Amino acid sequence: MTEETDATPVTERTPLVELDDVSKYYGNIRALEGVSLEVHAGEISCVLGDNGAGKSTLIKIIAGLHRHDAGAFRIEGEDAKLGSPREALDRGIATVYQDLAVVPLMPVWRNFFLGSEPTKGVGPFKRMDVDLMRETTRAELLRMGIDLRDVDQPIGTLSGGERQCVAIARAVYFGAKVLVLDEPTAALGVKQSGVVLKYVAAARDAGLGVVLITHNPHHAYLVGNRFVLLKRGTMSGSYTRDEISLDDLTREMAGGSELDDLRHELERR
């Protein structure tokens, strides 16, 4: 006699992370309502929306900062309510925020291992293994195609795009299965944005599931497999790449029918 279970059987197509009709409220304020999202290994799921659309709340739920109030949040088919970012990391979810949690005056290798420094020696002779950290940082960045001049240079001397790329390589090295990127190209120019998107694609090709939060449909369409559009805390659309063109995605992002109404109103005036 076999024991029945409510757990969802894990298959190759089971999402690494799945939000199903998720809602979040702060008192009487609706931050998210009825939002669904799937994140698969080797794919990039893009979440698009203007300021106030609910993107930050969505990130905080996936990253373990806040718990959802309704709906289902699943990690590899298992219902989850994360209690902290550390718990999210333990489940393989790494989040890289727009402002990047780095110490500008510390060298690149020190930031790469910040909070997870390997040591050598025992007792009073125990100390950080600096040589290992230097060599590992250099090797892991090269493996992602990032060739820095010197890993001893302060990370604050790198460009914004280079710092984003170091953060992506760090997440890959420490075993992330899901990488959540909060507006990684928002403050970057065209060339630096292209560099970051190249390494986002490299993380995808390494088998990670990537959540790309952005307000730029052109950047999203360059790398995305799935697209979720948020507006005032609700979903205004959900598409796979073969269901929507860049022009239609841009139009939806710009307001769709609301934009048409505005055009007619301006023409009358």
- Tens of pLDDT along 194-204? 888 998 998 99
Is residue 196 included in any domain, yes or no?
yes
pLDDT at 10: 55
Q: Are 146 and 191 in contact (CB under 8 A)?
A: no
Residues 105-116 have pLDDT tens digits of 999 999 999 888
Q: Are 40 and 59 in contact (CB under 8 A)?
A: no
Report pLDDT for 264.
61
Contact criterion met (CB below 8 Å) for 155 and 107: yes
Does residue 180 belong to any structural domain of this protein?
yes
Whether 116 maps to a domain, the answer reads no
Which residues does the chain have with pLDDT short of 70?
1-12, 255-269
- Kindly provide the b/e burial profile for residues 24-53, where b requires at least 16 CB atoms within 10 angstroms of the residue's own CB: beeeeebbbbebebbbbbebbbbbbbeeeb
Tell whether 119 is covered by a domain. Answer: no
pLDDT, position 3:
45
Q: Residue 4 has which token pair?
A: 């029945």
Entry field: residues in the chain: 269
The reported pTM is 0.84
Q: What is the pLDDT of residue 4?
A: 44
Rounded (5°) CA angle 167-48-93: 40
- What residue type is 209 in one-letter code? G
Is 127 inside any structural domain? no
CATH of the domain at 44: 3.40.50.300
Question: Is 139 a member of any domain?
Answer: no
What are 107's strand-pairing partners? 154
- Structural domain of 73: 17-100+175-259
Instruction: Look at residues 22, 32, 24, 86 and name the one whose alpha carbon lies nearest to residue 55.
Output: 32
Backbone angles phi, psi at 40, to 5 degrees: -110, 150
